[in-house]
A and B are shown apart, each in its own frame.
Chain A
Amino acid sequence: MTKSNERKLTIARSMAEAVAQEMRVDPSVFVMGEDIGPLGGVYGNTRGLIEEFGAERIRDTPISETAFIGAAVGAAQDGMRPVVELMFVDFFGVCFDAIYNLMAKNIYFSGGNLKVPMVLMTSTGGGYSDGGQHSQCVYGTFAHLPGMKVVAPSNAYDAKGLMTAAMRDDSPVVYMYHKGLQGMGWLGTEAGATVHVPEESYTVEIGKAKVVRQGKDVTIVSLGMGVHNALKAAKTLEGQGVSAEVVDLVSLVPLDRETIRASVAKTGRLIVVDEDYMSYGVSGEIIASVTEHDISVLKAAPKRVAFPDVPIPFARVMEQYCLPNPDKIVAAWDEMKAA
């Protein structure tokens, strides 16, 4: 049912809108990255910006991630608020020093005397057979290293509000958007990500998770694309008489452990869904957040539905075999119940 005043936007359009609105009021905000100018970003998230703001503030860069991310750090320390794009998060391999040794550490190294207000926006995720260097999430890799806030929107409302919050933050924010939620037809968009987005500028709090579906039997925690898989699984479970609560992390750093713990305290069961690699990552951290706090709330051992510890395979059947999906979440519940 379409509501009056409803204004559905894709994540790509809501990101661009947030940036445009902030650029209109804050001359220190500018964007740089590969193909973010006339092309409008490979994922559409800077579309229309160069027409309004020009090539000085919407800067196409050479293919030099180390240089332009390092430059963003220097510009941020000098009073600007750069929004830089790392086209695929997989490319962090060529520029991680600028990210985790400069961007993430310079506030600390200055004893808090410097601000590093910058946004590193980067695409994540697979599912469209792009192979092992263009399909990763590596959420855990970024969230593991101190000094960076990390957010990952699952829908266009949060995408806009998080982008505005990120641009106003005096610390570096890694903004990880999932390609499959972006609203680019050619990437096979998840429809649930395209939602009503208010026209005016607003923020979504960084570090606050959201209970996006109430339930009482099991808590499913996820982020980005995983939230949509969790919601679909919850619907299936509802048909079986199981009431699943779904928590959208929204942010990985700071991590809203309170919301997770409160939900699991209520349901007594926990399934974590993560498109990142299984081991040493987000899924383990979420479970530890609950178990080290109060293991007595758990009625069953927690379960993980995550990408197995292998590089992302190309062949469709192999990649789909590895990716989380609603059926795997329902299966995790079945195992939990049987145990």
Chain B
Amino acid sequence: MSPTRDEQHWMYRNMVTSRRFEETIAKIYFEGKTPVFNMANGPIPGEMHLSDGQEPVAVGVCAHLTPEDVVTATHRPHHQAIAKGVDLDKMAAEIFGKTTGLSGGRGGHMHIFDPDVNFACSGIIAQGMGPAVGAALSRKMQGKPGVAVAFLGEGAVNQGAWHEAMNLAAVWKLPFVCVIEDNAWGISVAKSTATSIANNADRAAAYGIPGTRIEGNDPYAIYEAAGAAIARARAGEGPSLIEVETYRLAGHFMGDAEGYRPEGEKDALFEKDPIPKMRAKLLADGVASEAELDAIEAESAARVEAAIKFARESADPAPEDALTAVFAA
């Protein structure tokens, strides 16, 4: 299964939008945080986990999803949110902690919730699994269309929650796909130090479900594998596991000195940046012209600029709004 021309344009557009978004956030993040870095300062306080380099996973999977499908994401959620169609203005405003944000500033960047497109997060490693499996159960019980996808990092696969939920999804044969973004690092701990096997897709055998590993951070291969897994889920044939080799071009969080990376690793990763690679492929395959790609890039940049402007110009929440929305209205 290969992506159509339109799908390829959509994938490229969302990869570029995500990258522009992260680059812009990165720039703004340091406002007020120099010369002394203090996470609490500036227009975007708190931790910031950027997804630069991991865009192929988000678009390769979400190309197969509609708003009614469910996605749970992690502490590093922006690329997935963008690909899932989360409202970019409201997401930016949430990241700035503004009253116009998705949750009016109650959540922040690790807690992006947009029920309109069935997108949710947990900042706790592997804890998106249970809710995604539960949403899949809900669809199965209600006979309602839709599948659930949980995105996780490779470190999450060593959490008990992951194993419990994989087993539950498999034993109940739920319309669920687990997508592992293997960026090789759990903050500073290498996958090879933390994980007893090289290929987490092998773990699928423990639950009697299909498992696939995609090398090379290739959006086309991800698209194909995700398409098969999601089609299987939609057909009621049960869950699948996909692990994708991807690259974290940024630190774990903004301010991470990345001293744990071997010499030269970052440079080598930038050589493999998936965005210029996809651009070159689109041109080589004759799927898009320079002009079309330039237009996509310009539109993405404008889209991000508008979202950031919306966020910057939005009002802070009333402080006492902190005391509301603890319970359902």
A69 (CB) vs chain B CBs: closest residue:
B130
Cα distance, A171 to B329, chains bound together (Å): 9
Check A108 against B106 for contact (C-beta < 8 Å).
yes
Q: Which residues of A contact B130 (CB under 8 A)?
A: 66-71, 73-74, 98, 102
A117 CB–B CB distance under 8 Å: yes
B205 CB–A CB distance under 8 Å: no
Q: Give the residue of A30, A73, A94, A112 whose beta carbon is less than 8 angstroms from that of B131.
A: A73
A64 (CB) vs chain B CBs: closest residue:
B164
Check A71 against B168 for contact (C-beta < 8 Å).
yes
> Which residues from 120 to 158 on chain B have a C-beta closer than 8 Å to any C-beta of chain A?
120-122, 124, 127, 129-139, 141-142, 148
Cα distance, A69 to B328, chains bound together (Å): 19
Check B102 against A110 for contact (C-beta < 8 Å).
yes
A232 CB–B CB distance under 8 Å: no
Check B113 against A114 for contact (C-beta < 8 Å).
yes
Evaluate whether A97 and B328 lie within 8 angstroms (CB atoms) in the complex, with A66-B164, A74-B148 already known: no
Check A70 against B329 for contact (C-beta < 8 Å).
no
Stretch of A18-26, A75-83, A311-319 contacting B (4+ beta carbons < 8 Å): A75-83
A209 CB–B CB distance under 8 Å: no
B72 (CB) vs chain A CBs: closest residue:
A74
Cα distance, A64 to B328, chains bound together (Å): 27
Cα distance, A168 to B135, chains bound together (Å): 19
- The proximity string for A residues 94-134 relative to B, scoring 1 for CB distances below 8 Å and 0 otherwise, is 10011001100111111111111100000000000000000
A61 CB–B CB distance under 8 Å: yes
Q: Which residues of B contact A108 (CB under 8 A)?
A: 103, 106-107, 325-326
Cα distance, A171 to B135, chains bound together (Å): 17
Check B327 against A67 for contact (C-beta < 8 Å).
no
Residues of A within 8 A of B (CB-CB), count: 47
Check B122 against A102 for contact (C-beta < 8 Å).
yes
A-B contact count (CB 8 A): 157
Q: Which residues of B contact A68 (CB under 8 A)?
A: 130, 168
**Of A30, A101, A111, A170, most B-chain CB atoms within 10 Å:** A111
B314 CB–A CB distance under 8 Å: no
Q: Give the residue of A78, A97, A170 whose beta carbon is less than 8 angstroms from that of B70.
A: A78
Cα distance, A305 to B133, chains bound together (Å): 43
Check B133 against A67 for contact (C-beta < 8 Å).
yes
Cα distance, A28 to B143, chains bound together (Å): 12
A44 CB–B CB distance under 8 Å: no
A80 (CB) vs chain B CBs: closest residue:
B138
- The proximity string for B residues 261-303 relative to A, scoring 1 for CB distances below 8 Å and 0 otherwise, is 0000000000000000000000000000000000000000000
Evaluate whether A116 and B328 lie within 8 angstroms (CB atoms) in the complex, with A69-B130, A111-B103 already known: yes
Q: Which residues of A contact B129 (CB under 8 A)?
A: 67, 70
B91 CB–A CB distance under 8 Å: no
Cα distance, A169 to B327, chains bound together (Å): 10
Cα distance, A77 to B120, chains bound together (Å): 10
Nearest-neighbour CB distance to chain A for B214, whole angstroms, equals: 26
A40 CB–B CB distance under 8 Å: no
B249 CB–A CB distance under 8 Å: no
- The proximity string for A residues 304-337 relative to B, scoring 1 for CB distances below 8 Å and 0 otherwise, is 0000000000000000000000000000000000
A104 (CB) vs chain B CBs: closest residue:
B326
Q: Which residues of B contact A107 (CB under 8 A)?
A: 325-328
Q: Which residues of A contact B103 (CB under 8 A)?
A: 108-113
B306 CB–A CB distance under 8 Å: no
B99 (CB) vs chain A CBs: closest residue:
A111
Cα distance, A117 to B138, chains bound together (Å): 13
Check B134 against A112 for contact (C-beta < 8 Å).
no
Check A170 against B326 for contact (C-beta < 8 Å).
no
Check B106 against A109 for contact (C-beta < 8 Å).
yes
Cα distance, A32 to B326, chains bound together (Å): 25
Give the A-binding residues of B (Cβ under 8 A).
70, 72, 101-104, 106-107, 111, 113, 115, 118, 120-122, 124, 127, 129-139, 141-142, 148, 160-161, 164-165, 167-168, 171, 324-329
- Further pairs besides A71-B130, A97-B161, A101-B127: 17, Cβ < 8 Å: A30-B141, A66-B165, A67-B133, A67-B167, A68-B168, A70-B165, A71-B131, A75-B135, A77-B115, A98-B127, A111-B106, A111-B325, A112-B324, A114-B120, A149-B327, A170-B329, A171-B327
Give the B-binding residues of A (Cβ under 8 A).
28, 30, 56-57, 61-62, 64, 66-80, 82, 94, 97-98, 101-102, 105-117, 146-147, 149, 169-171
